[in-house]
Amino acid sequence: MGFADKLRGQLIDIIEFLDDSRDTIVWRFPRQGNEIKNQAQLVVREGQVAVFENEGQIADVFGPGRYVLETKNLPILTTLKGWKYGFNSPFKAEVYFVATRQFTDFKWGTQHPITLRDPEFGMVRLRAFGTYALQVADPSVLLRQLVGTDSNFRTDEIGEFFRQNIIGHLAPAIASSGIPMLDLAANQQSLSSRLAPALSAELAEYGVTIPRFVIENVSLPPEVEAALDKRTQMGVLGDLDAYTKFQTATAIGDAANNPGGAGEGLGLGMGMAMGTQMAQTIAQSNQAHQAAPQAAPAGPPPLPVTDELWYYATGGSQVGPVTPEALAQQVGAGQVTRDTLVWKQGMAAWTAAGEVPNLAGLFHAPPPLPPTAAPTPGA
C-alpha cells in the first residue's frame, strides 16, 4: 500500500451524527486534523440540518437527505483552499449538526413572587411554574449568537438563560391580560397560548422558537393563602353571632356530659360567658326601649275563640269550620237542613244535623194545620 493509499484511508468518507443523548442541540463533527475529501458522503437525518463552516464563516446548510460532497453541489466551498494530493482534492470545513426537533424537557418557574395589582385584592404576589418546548428555527443564527465554537451544545447550557427570559415576559403578560387572580386557574390555557407566540418573537434573535408553552400552576405565597382561607371560612360560616352561640351551647353540652375535672371548669366558663352575653343583650334592649318613643295604648284584647267549630256538607263538598252562630244563620237561610251532614271535633262520624242534640233546637217543628171550618147548616 502506497503512501497515497494510506493518506486516502485517513480521510473521512461518511459524515453523519447519530444522537442518543436526547439533549444535544448542536454537535460538531470531529475533525482531528482530517480533511473532508471530495465525493465524501453526508447523511443528514430527519430532525437535523448540517451546517458547513470555513474559517468561522457559514458556507452551506444541508437539510435531511444523503449527499455526495462535490464542488458542483458546494458552490460556496469551491472558493475554499484544497490540498492537492494527486487524487480527489480534499478540503477543510467544520460540520455542525443542528437538531431541529422539539426539545420538550424545559421547565420554568418563578424564583421570587411576581407582584401584580388585582382588581379585587389589590396588590398580590403570585408564583407560577410550568414547562415549554424549544425548537431551532434558524440554525445559522443560533450558531452565531449562542453556540460559537462549542463542539457539544446541550440544553442545560441555555435552560437558565431562557427561563429568565420567560419570567421577564410572564409578569407583563399576566398584568395585561386583565384576568383576576381567582380566575387565573380557569384561564391558564388561554394565557399559555398567548405567551407562546410572544416569547417566540422575543427569542427570534437567537434563532429559536417556543412552539409550546404550558402554565401548570399559579399559586400564592403561604401567608396570602392563609389569609384567603380565613376569608373563605368567614364566608362559609355566615352569621358569626349565631355561630358563636351554637358553639357555646355545644361546649356546655359536652361539659355537662363530662362531670368533674376540666369539664366543670369549662362549663362554668361557658356559663359565665353566656351570662355576660345575656346581660349585655338585656342592657341593650333596655337602652333601646328607653330611647324609643312611647307607643300608643294597646287596644282591647281579641275576642275569645270558641272550640266548638262545625263543618257541614253541601253539594258534595265540605264547608267550614264555622261557629255555632254562623251555622244557625245557615239553618235560618235554608242552607242547612235536618238532613244535612255535620261534624265537629269529638264526633265519631258525620251525622245528620237533625239527629245532633246540640243542633236539634235549631230546627223548629212546623206549626199544626189550622182547623177546618164546620159546614153551615142548610148549606
pLDDT of residue 86: 36
Considering only residues 180 and 301, tell me which one the structure prediction assigns the higher pLDDT. 180
pLDDT of residue 17: 92
Lowest mean pLDDT among 158-162, 219-223, 316-320: 219-223
Percent of the chain predicted with pLDDT > 70: 66
Question: Is the confidence at residue 231, as pLDDT, over 80?
Answer: no
Considering only residues 347 and 84, tell me which one the structure prediction assigns the higher pLDDT. 347
Would you call 377 helix, strand, or coil by DSSP?
A: coil
Alpha-carbon distance of 135 to 280, in angstroms, equals 73
pLDDT of residue 372: 64
Considering only residues 13 and 268, tell me which one the structure prediction assigns the higher pLDDT. 13
Would you call 373 helix, strand, or coil by DSSP?
A: coil
Would you call 53 helix, strand, or coil by DSSP?
A: strand
Question: Is the confidence at residue 345, as pLDDT, over 80?
Answer: yes
Question: Is the confidence at residue 121, as pLDDT, over 80?
Answer: no
pLDDT of residue 94: 85
User: Residue 111 to residues 129, 285, 357: CA-CA distances in angstroms?
Assistant: 9, 58, 96
pLDDT of residue 209: 93
* Cβ 33 vs Cβ 83: under 8 Å: no
Alpha-carbon distance of 148 to 167, in angstroms, equals 26
Would you call 355 helix, strand, or coil by DSSP?
A: helix
Considering only residues 334 and 269, tell me which one the structure prediction assigns the higher pLDDT. 334
pLDDT of residue 239: 61
pLDDT of residue 80: 42
* Cβ 338 vs Cβ 352: under 8 Å: yes
Average pLDDT score over residue span 349-357? 85
Q: Say which CATH architecture domain 103-222 belongs to.
A: 2-Layer Sandwich (3.30)
Residue 362: count of CB within 10 angstroms of its CB: 17
Question: Is the confidence at residue 4, as pLDDT, over 80?
Answer: no
> Which tens digit of pLDDT belongs to each residue from 90-115?
667 789 999 999 998 899 888 888 88
> Which tens digit of pLDDT belongs to each residue from 261-320?
555 555 555 555 555 666 666 666 666 656 555 554 555 655 455 557 888 888 778 888
Percent of the chain predicted with pLDDT > 90: 15
pLDDT of residue 51: 92
Helix, strand, coil shares of the chain, percent, nearest 5, are 40, 25, 35
CA atoms within 13 A on the CB side of 198: 17
Query: Helices marked H in the chain — which ranges?
Result: 3-10, 139-142, 159-177, 188-202, 222-237, 240-256, 262-291, 324-332, 357-360
Q: Give the pLDDT band (50/70/90) at residue 83.
A: very low
* Cβ 228 vs Cβ 118: under 8 Å: no
pLDDT of residue 325: 86
Lowest mean pLDDT among 18-32, 71-85, 125-139: 71-85
Q: Give the pLDDT band (50/70/90) at residue 326.
A: confident
Alpha-carbon distance of 117 to 300, in angstroms, equals 65
Average pLDDT of the chain to the nearest whole number: 76
Considering only residues 173 and 274, tell me which one the structure prediction assigns the higher pLDDT. 173
